[in-house]
Each structure stands twice: as structure tokens, then as C-alpha cells.
Amino acid sequence: MTGYTLRELMVVAAARQIEDGQVVFVGMRLPLLGFLLAKRTHAPQAIGLYENGIIREMPSAEMLYTMSDPPNIYRATSCADMLAVMGLLQQGRVDVGFIGGAEIDRFGNLNTTLVRADGRRAIRLPGSGGACDIASLAHRLIAIMAHEKRRFRERVSYITSPGYGEGGNWRSAVGLPRGGPSVVITDKAILEFDPVTKEAVLSSVHPGISVDDVLAHTGWPLRVSKDLDETPPPTEEELSIIRELDPRGFWTR
């Protein structure tokens, strides 16, 4: 694990989820870095949508704290309104969407609204923002989050962003037109979802992390794929680009 941080690995794993020419609902922080890394490596034609109304192909020249920072506006492909980009999302024109989460459960449902822990007062979180929309409407959802037992719970206490609900064909039963979580990228591992039951399956562990460690930090008996991989580490090229994008390590250290 020398030579790179787990966050750098997460950025690389995120970037690898983007194919060239795809339309990506970007988000901020690690997903944004992942998008920029993908643009600089294997997906130069990828297109980024931001829920504030920005469509952007050319990466911004400076680091962004928020998607509405002036460097994200300067030389954007288009600056329109939220409805314009949400309309594209609802039409099914978005291939991949990234979101984070405070809690996730066995079927990939995410909570960023209200956390109820046993015997403690409920904790109010900021809420959905566009996360629920991305989770509802993108073709593939990538969730990125810290792998902690209190976050990986059997059932989330509030479904902010629908995953596969109770599993199986729940999504189409409730009327969601497509999509669902495809991959969960954590600081320990990568989870995918069973194509039939829609239950999360451990598919890849990061170098230096044991399966037992992952299982110990997951709040339900996590299934392990019979084709379990080790997450490929960042290449030299990927690392040098990330460090150019985040020179002070604000996000990745």
C-alpha cells in the first residue's frame, strides 16, 4: 500500500467505471476527480452533467470546492438550468451517476437524510440534494463511501436514494424506469450486486485489505463473490494525474 492512498485508489476505481463518450452525472469531491482522471486517460470524450445546470466537456483548469464555482462555468459546454440537466437524466440519457452516502444497506439503498441509531437521538443530515434523482434515473449508479459498520447497515433507517429496495424486481414494481446501484466503491473494497436477488456482493478487495476486515466492517453477513478479485492498484500515470489535479492532497490525502 505504499505509494498511494486509499482515496487515490477510490478515485481510480471511480474513473474506471466511466467509458469513453458516456454521459456522467458527476457530483463533487472524489467522483469529480474520478471523472477528470477518466477524461485524461481512457475516456476523453466523456461528458459531465452537473445538477446546477452546467454541462461540461473540458475539465476545469482549477480545483472546485463546489460545482457552481466560476472555474466550472468558464468555457463550459453549456450553462442552463436544473430542469435541463434533470430532464436529460429522466429521459435516460445519463449513463453513469455518482453519489456518496452516510448509510447504505444490503440492497444498495442509501440514506443521507436521517440516521436513527439504537437508543440515541436521531441525527439530521443535509438530505438528498440531487442524489435521489441520480439514484432513481441514471442507468448505472456508483456509490462512493467510507467502509464502516455503522454506515453499512442491514436496513437503512431512511431511504433517501433508492437502491434495489427489498431486492429482486422491486425497482420496476415501484415504477422506477431503469438503473440501480452498479458498484459501491469504499476505502476497503468494491461491492457489486447479484443480478437476480440484487443483494450486494463483495467483488474486489483493495490491496492490503483482508476479506475478514471487510466483513467485520459490514453490518450484515456480506456475500463474497466466488470470483473475488483484488482491486488493481493505480498506475503511475493515474497517480501522477491525480496529484496534478489535487496537488495539495485536499481530497485524496
Partner 1 sequence: MTLSEAIEQYVPDGASIVMGTAMEALIPFAAGHEIIRQRKRDLTLIGPISDILFDQLIGAGCVEKVIAAWVGNVSGGSAYNLRRAVEEGMPRPLEMEDHTNFTIALGLHAGALGVPYLPARTALGSDIQRRNDHLRSITCPYTGDRLIAVRAIEPDVAIVHVQRADEAGNCHLWGNLGVTIDAVRASRRVIVTAEEIVPADVILSDPNRTLIPGFLVTAVVEQPWGAHPSPVVGYYNRDNDYFHEYHRETKTPEQFHRWLQRWVLGVKDRNHYLERLGRDRREALRPRRRAPSAPAEFGY
Catalytic residues: 51
Of positions 55, 146, 211, 224, contacts partner 1 by CB under 8 A: 55
Of positions 87, 207, 208, 249, contacts partner 1 by CB under 8 A: 87
123 or 228, CB closer to partner 1? 123
SS3 14: helix
Cβ 135 to partner 1 shortest distance, Å: 8
Backbone φ and ψ for 126, nearest 5 degrees, come out as -60, -30
Q: Give every CB contact of residue 3 below 8 A, 6+ residues apart in sequence.
A: 233, 239
Of 185, 236, 253, 206, residue with least CA distance to 7: 253
Of positions 33, 67, 144, 190, contacts partner 1 by CB under 8 A: 67
Backbone φ and ψ for 10, nearest 5 degrees, come out as -65, -40
**Binding window for partner 1 (CB under 8 A); candidates: 130-138, 194-202, 205-213, 241-249:** 130-138
Of positions 38, 86, 144, 190, contacts partner 1 by CB under 8 A: 86
**Binding window for partner 1 (CB under 8 A); candidates: 116-124, 189-197, 221-229, 230-238:** 116-124
79 is a contact residue toward partner 1 (CB under 8 A) = yes
The C-alpha angle 22, 232, 57, rounded to 5 degrees, equals 25
CB 110 within 8 A of CB 155: no
Strand 223-230 and strand 200-205: the pairing is parallel
CB 60 within 8 A of CB 74: yes
Cβ 18 to partner 1 shortest distance, Å: 15
Residues that bind partner 1 (CB under 8 A): 23, 28, 47, 50-55, 57-58, 65-84, 86-92, 113, 121-133, 136-137, 158-162, 165, 170-171, 174-177
